[in-house]
Amino acid sequence: MFWRKRKQSDFTAEIEAHLELETERLKEQGLSEEEARRAARRAFGNVTRAEERFYEAGRWMWWDHLIQDLRFGLRLLAKNPGFATVAVLTLALGIGANTAIFSLIDAVMLKMLPVRDSQQLTLLNWAAQSVPGIMPASDIIHTAQGNMDQDKTGRMTSTSLSYPVFELLRARSDIFSSAFAFANVGRVNFGIGGEARLAEGELVSGDYFSGLGVVTVAGRAIGPADDKTGAAPVAMISYGYWETRFGRDRSAVGRSAVINNVPVTIIGVSPPEFFGLQPGRSIDVWLPLHTQPEVEPNWTEKGRSNFIRDDDWWVMVMGRLKPGVSEPQARAVLGAVFYESVAAQREAARSAPRRESAAEPIPSGPQGLPSLGLAPASKGLSYLRQEFSKPLLILMGVVGLVLLIACANVANLLLSRAAARQREIAVRLAIGAGRSRIIRQLLTESVMLASLGGTLGLLLAYWATGVLIAFMSSGRNPIAISVSPNLRALALTALISIVTGILFGLAPAYRAARVDLTGALKDASSLLGRGRLRLGFGKALVVSQVAMSLLLLVGAGLFVRTLENLEEADLGFDRRNVLLFGVDATEGGYKDERLLSFYQELQQGLEGLAGVRSAASSGSTLIGGGVSIDGLSIEGRPAPRPDDASTAVYFNDVGPRFFETMGIPLILGRTIGPQDTSAAPKVAVINEMLAHKFFAGSSPVGHRFGMGDSKSSSEIEIVGVVANAKYDDVRKEVPPTVYVPYAQHPGSLREMHFEIRTAGDPSQMVPAVRRVLRDLDQNLPLSDVKTQVEQINQTIFQESLFAKLSSFFGLLALTLTSVGLYGILAYAVARRTNEIGIRMALGAERAAILWMVSRESMTLAGIGIIVGAPAALAASRLVASMLYGLKPTDPLTIASAAAVLAAVALLAGYLPARRASRLDPMVALRYE
Amino acid sequence: MSTQKGRERLELLQGTLDLLILRTLIFGPQHGQGIGRAIQRTTDDELLVEHGALYPALQRLEQRGWIAAEWGTSANNRKARFYTLTPAGRKQLVRETTKWRRLSTAIGRVLGPEVGKG
């Protein structure tokens, strides 16, 4: 199409040629040059009009208009910087918060694993019917690693399988093109050149990396040849670990290291985007599955290899379905293989001699047997999603509301501005501007505002995402997610800002273009009669803003009070001035007696430090999240059934002076002391809750009990009762708890945690503590060094995050709403200046005027609160599970939120009201 | 152009200019001024064709692909833009001519036979 390229100059030349030809012709008819030229022009008509019509026919038009509109819009914004700043900032905050939260949701919930064809991956799991809190299928499963969750039908589910089952499933090459196993080993002691540090470790089978399609950036990946008993131990490190520990030195590949006392060779580095299969948890080092007996010798019972045992379920299995194999097909085939295996196991268990005297008879048939399930694994394992999906969705709702309020604000701003510009628009219409042109001009302006807001919002989002991640990582489980505002987040921001622009641009634009020309030209105030009606839409916006703000304020109130309740909860022990850390001496090769004495020496060393009041040790620190639960059988009472949850009590292995150090008062008898050695009679201290539950009305001291697998119910004697103290979680009630001396239960002894009560700031003691440990053994790293207060704060970080964010957003909403309220009232006062002048001239008191305007703001706020209260009540139910110590319908919270809103509304209304009451009637009457 | 004075000429009906242009071009390439002249001549100066309206119309027809344009030299050696009818334009002319004939017949029927001038 050549015409598109035809230029204006070409067209002008054509007209010029026409005039020449016409002049020529007329001259031939006998006219003079001058006459001919004039006549030709006359016959042509309006040259400019012809040129304009040519111009408009081209598609340059809209572009040209756009440039014009943009230029004009920018000029207007520059002329009114207050309006522009408020509008852009308002939008930036709304859009920025939305993008930040969406980026997080994207990283946590939507992002696929950075592996080849992740949609083909499937993670195996099993489910079995069971009493809550009791191990399902306990006749065939001795231990199961990892978390167990309850599914929708109440069955317990887990992703851990036994190694023999993994091999059976992997053998089905008709279903899987590859299948691989992995197991979490938690933190390992990673020593390089004599310097020990902790690293997150994972055991993987030989086809893990090839199955996932993860290619190393240096060296090679762990292969099937590495994953065999007797193979030279190797390790693969993550890109992040390579960076922090080796400074991305290529020679790291091939170096030897010591992991949990096992010498290994580093063979490769994973790509930077691969953190392992769990979004949020980042693995530092991968080891072949078959290094387990060396790296984690505690997992292996004497003489029973984990690779042969079918009752130790410790590996997670992921597979890549063969192309053409459907999920139901895979489920049927693999399910049958699995069932055959567990049914055979049950048969074997039935015929084998009983391990436990009090165990239930093993059912014959499939009752209570686990069944296999398949789940798409494309987004990684689900822990992070479970923990954060609801909070993130709620946050999304909160920031969505903020964005709505922001939009309403900008709409109001534009609305009142469009009204103020009515005269200008009327003039433009009068001199021939098309209505569509005017609407387009106004739309351009609002989209421009939205784009400015969107751009600023994106910058804000970058910053806010970083802050949020940092905050979320301060919880108990550090989070590693690669959150870069990706294309999806970008697209969403763009969409939000453009839709917002159109949304709030349309209403004023529509209205502005329906201006009654003569009226508007004559005088803006002649529209006064219809002023109320015209403000209706703006008022509706303000009312909805108030309602949404109430929602956010109630949410903020609930979360803040939840945090307060948690922070002030009575824990039963003194949380101040306590330093915590952990040491695992078994990683240094300590065993049995040596291990016990090592921990004792360490404790004595700590007590000898200046500034330390007392030091103690325990298997689990308080409010640390870790627990051991076991059944209790009390002497002289019927033995409990193994699935009877009512005898389940919490255990903690503690050393001497534990109660004194933690500030838990003794009620009866004595505490655990240095005399309770492995040679001494076994003793225990119980808490009041347990005493109340099992020994109501009598003194428990002197009673005897047995625990868990032990054959005797008279093994342990109760020597004391201490006051109630929370164990693993601030939110939970105090559980019935048994404290036993760790020295008397050396079998389960591994990592030990130490508590140090200091005279001053506990964090100041860290270097001294490190020195004490180094003097004993320089190869052992400290882990989990933190104060007791820090540890508690970590468990309530989500509540603290919510309290902070919801307060911030509530405040933001309040500010936006008050700006909206102020804006609409200020505008109303400006429009009614004349009327107010008349009223005053007729003798209206200033107070009456003040009241007249204030009443309006109170009415708006009142309607908003009445509309918002039921919505807030309904919405607060959604967060009921996230609250502590108060109900979602807490009347105090709702009342104070409403009161705050009313106060702010009064304040926002006061300024314009005062201005109205101070008008000089003479000036006001002349006001146009 | 004294001939034009004192005589009221007919305004062009909407859309008829296009038809006239296409019809004129059937005799071969012509520039804008020539087209205007030709229309005026063949209608015995009855129709008022404002020259200024001609060019946007030519532009429109060119955009639709009914005529094509090229700069050339006029008979008296002046530069001018020459328009030719394209095959599509020829078809359009046939269509429009038929339509116009039907329209004028129909209107003629309504108005009845011409009454003698009184």
- DSSP state letter for A172: -
The alpha-carbon gap from A71 to the nearest alpha carbon of chain B, in Å, equals 29
Cβ neighbors of A809 (< 8 A, separation 6 or more) are: A97, A398, A399, A401, A402, A552, A556
Query: Is-contact A319 A176, C-beta < 8 A?
Result: yes
What element of type H or E holds B19?
helix B16-25
The alpha-carbon gap from B105 to the nearest alpha carbon of chain A, in Å, equals 32
Put simply, the chain A residues between 516 and 545 with a CB less than 8 A from any chain B CB are: none
pLDDT of A427 > 50? The answer is yes
Q: What is the pLDDT averaged over residues B64-93?
A: 88
pLDDT of A55 > 70? The answer is no
Strands (E), B20-114: 30-31, 67-73, 79-85
Choose among B52, B76, B79: nearest Cβ to A46.
Answer: B52
Q: Per-residue confidence at A112, pLDDT binned at 50, 70, 90?
A: low
Taking CA–CA distances from B3, the nearest residue in chain A reads A29
Burial B83-114 (b: 16+ CB within 10 A, else e): bebbeebeebbeebeeeeeeeeeeeeeeeeee
- DSSP state letter for A58: S
pLDDT above 90 covers a percentage of chain A that reads 23
Q: From CA A105, how far away is CA A483, in angstroms rounded? A: 10
Per-residue pLDDT tens digits for A501-549: 776 666 656 665 565 655 655 554 444 444 444 557 778 888 999 999 9
Query: The complex's ipTM?
Result: 0.80
Tell me the sheet residues that pair with A705: A634, A716
DSSP string across A202-262: EEE-TTHHHHHT---SEE----TTTSSTTSPPEEEE-HHHHHHHHTT-GGGTT-EEEETTE
- DSSP state letter for A3: G
The alpha-carbon gap from A41 to the nearest alpha carbon of chain B, in Å, equals 9
Per-residue pLDDT tens digits for A653-666: 999 999 999 999 99
Q: Of residues A827 and A700, which shows the higher confidence score? A: A700
Mean pLDDT score of chain A, rounded to an integer?
82
Calculate ∠ Cα B107-B113-B117, nearest 5°: 115
Q: From CA A822, how far away is CA A410, in angstroms rounded? A: 13
Q: Write phi, then psi, for A63 (nearest 5 degrees).
A: -65, -45
pLDDT of A144 > 80? The answer is no
Nearest to A217 by CA among A234, A242, A191: A242
Nearest to A655 by CA among A598, A698, A711: A598
Per-residue pLDDT tens digits for A714-735: 789 999 999 999 988 888 889 8
By CB atoms closer than 10 A (0-12, 13-18, 19+), residue A144 is buried
In the chain, the amino acid numbered A762 is: P
Please judge whether A57 and B56 are an interchain contact, meaning their C-beta atoms are less than 8 angstroms apart. yes
Taking CA–CA distances from B83, the nearest residue in chain A reads A14
Please judge whether B37 and A25 are an interchain contact, meaning their C-beta atoms are less than 8 angstroms apart. yes
A631: three-class secondary structure by DSSP: strand
Asked if A21 is an interface residue toward chain B (Cβ–Cβ < 8 A), one would say yes
What element of type H or E holds A634?
strand A628-634
- DSSP state letter for A344: H
Choose among A3, A24, A50: nearest Cβ to B76.
Answer: A24
pLDDT above 70 covers a percentage of chain A that reads 85
For the record, the structure tokens of A668 come out as 């009866």
Helix orientation angle between A846-878 and A891-917, rounded to the nearest 10 degrees: 150
Cβ neighbors of A487 (< 8 A, separation 6 or more) are: none
Q: From CA A697, how far away is CA A65, in angstroms rounded? A: 90
Residues of A in contact with B56 (CB under 8 A): 50, 53-54, 57
Strands (E), A340-450: 371-376
Q: From CA B54, how far away is CA B35, in angstroms rounded? A: 9
Per-residue pLDDT tens digits for A767-817: 899 899 988 988 888 888 889 988 888 778 778 878 888 898 898 899 888
Asked if B50 is an interface residue toward chain A (Cβ–Cβ < 8 A), one would say yes
Q: From CA A206, how far away is CA A290, in angstroms rounded? A: 9
Nearest to A472 by CA among A282, A622, A280: A280
Query: Is-contact A274 A214, C-beta < 8 A?
Result: yes
Asked if A43 is an interface residue toward chain B (Cβ–Cβ < 8 A), one would say yes
Nearest to A777 by CA among A525, A575, A915, A589: A589
- DSSP state letter for A678: S
Nearest to A566 by CA among A731, A746, A398, A744: A731
Q: What is the pTM of this model?
A: 0.65
Choose among A3, A45, A57: nearest Cβ to B52.
Answer: A45
pLDDT of A760 > 80? The answer is yes
Q: From CA A856, how far away is CA A906, in angstroms rounded? A: 10
Please judge whether A57 and B80 are an interchain contact, meaning their C-beta atoms are less than 8 angstroms apart. no
Q: Of residues B31 and A471, which shows the higher confidence score? A: B31
Q: What is the pLDDT averaged over residues A393-406?
A: 84
CB atoms near residue B24 (< 10 Å): 20
> What secondary structure, in 3-state letters, does A96-143 show?
HHHHHHHHHHHHHHHCCCCCCCHHHEEEEEEEECCCCCCCCCCCCCCE
For the record, the structure tokens of A801 come out as 């995050």
Nearest to A874 by CA among A600, A629, A474, A550: A550
Amino acid A76: pLDDT: 78
For the record, the structure tokens of A105 come out as 């949701």
A728: three-class secondary structure by DSSP: coil
Amino acid A277: pLDDT: 79
Please judge whether A18 and B51 are an interchain contact, meaning their C-beta atoms are less than 8 angstroms apart. yes
What's the sign of the alpha-carbon dihedral B13, B17, B22, B27? positive
Q: Per-residue confidence at A276, pLDDT binned at 50, 70, 90?
A: confident
Please judge whether B31 and A45 are an interchain contact, meaning their C-beta atoms are less than 8 angstroms apart. no
Per-residue pLDDT tens digits for B91-117: 999 998 998 899 888 888 888 876 654
Residues of A in contact with B60 (CB under 8 A): 57
Per-residue pLDDT tens digits for A205-261: 999 999 888 889 999 999 999 998 888 999 999 988 898 889 889 999 999 998 888
Q: From CA A461, how far away is CA A131, in angstroms rounded? A: 46
For the record, the structure tokens of A272 come out as 């930077």
Q: Per-residue confidence at A600, pLDDT binned at 50, 70, 90?
A: very high
Amino acid A185: pLDDT: 83
Residues of B in contact with A21 (CB under 8 A): 31, 33-34, 74, 76, 78, 80
Amino acid B5: pLDDT: 44
Q: What is the pLDDT averaged over residues A407-412?
A: 80
What element of type H or E holds A161?
strand A160-162
Query: Is-contact A220 A206, C-beta < 8 A?
Result: no
What's the sign of the alpha-carbon dihedral A220, A221, A223, A226? positive
Q: From CA A123, how far away is CA A368, in angstroms rounded? A: 22
Asked if A432 is an interface residue toward chain B (Cβ–Cβ < 8 A), one would say no
Q: Which of A1, A2, A3 to mutate against chain B (most B CBs within 10 Å)?
A: A3
DSSP string across A292-335: HHHH-GGGSBTTB-TTT-SSEEEEEEEEEEPTT--HHHHHHHHH
A615: three-class secondary structure by DSSP: strand
In the chain, the amino acid numbered A44 is: F
pLDDT of A884 > 90? The answer is no
- Low-confidence winner among A478-487, A765-774, A871-880 (lowest mean pLDDT): A478-487
Q: From CA A426, how far away is CA A461, in angstroms rounded? A: 41
Q: What is the pLDDT averaged over residues A867-890?
A: 88
Amino acid A473: pLDDT: 66
Length of chain B (residues): 118
Instruction: Please report the number of interchain residue pairs, chain A to chain B, with beta-carbon separation below 8 angstroms.
Output: 70
Q: Per-residue confidence at A164, pLDDT binned at 50, 70, 90?
A: very high
Asked if A344 is an interface residue toward chain B (Cβ–Cβ < 8 A), one would say no
Per-residue pLDDT tens digits for A898-915: 999 999 999 888 888 888
Query: Is-contact A58 A4, C-beta < 8 A?
Result: yes
In the chain, the amino acid numbered A328 is: P
> What secondary structure, in 3-state letters, does A733-793 show?
CCCCEEEEEHHHCHHHCCCEEEEEEECCCHHHHHHHHHHHHHHHCCCCCCEEEEEHHHHHH
DSSP string across A369-397: --EEEEEE-TT--SHHHHHHHHHHHHHHH
Please judge whether B55 and A18 are an interchain contact, meaning their C-beta atoms are less than 8 angstroms apart. yes
Residues of A in contact with B66 (CB under 8 A): none
Q: Of residues A366 and A317, which shows the higher confidence score? A: A317
Asked if A731 is an interface residue toward chain B (Cβ–Cβ < 8 A), one would say no
Q: Which of A18, A25, A27 to mutate against chain B (most B CBs within 10 Å)?
A: A18
Amino acid B7: pLDDT: 53
Residues of A in contact with B59 (CB under 8 A): 3, 6, 11, 53-54, 57
Taking CA–CA distances from A13, the nearest residue in chain B reads B80
Query: Is-contact A754 A581, C-beta < 8 A?
Result: yes
Amino acid A80: pLDDT: 74
By CB atoms closer than 10 A (0-12, 13-18, 19+), residue A128 is buried
Please judge whether A14 and B34 are an interchain contact, meaning their C-beta atoms are less than 8 angstroms apart. no
Mean pLDDT score of chain B, rounded to an integer?
81
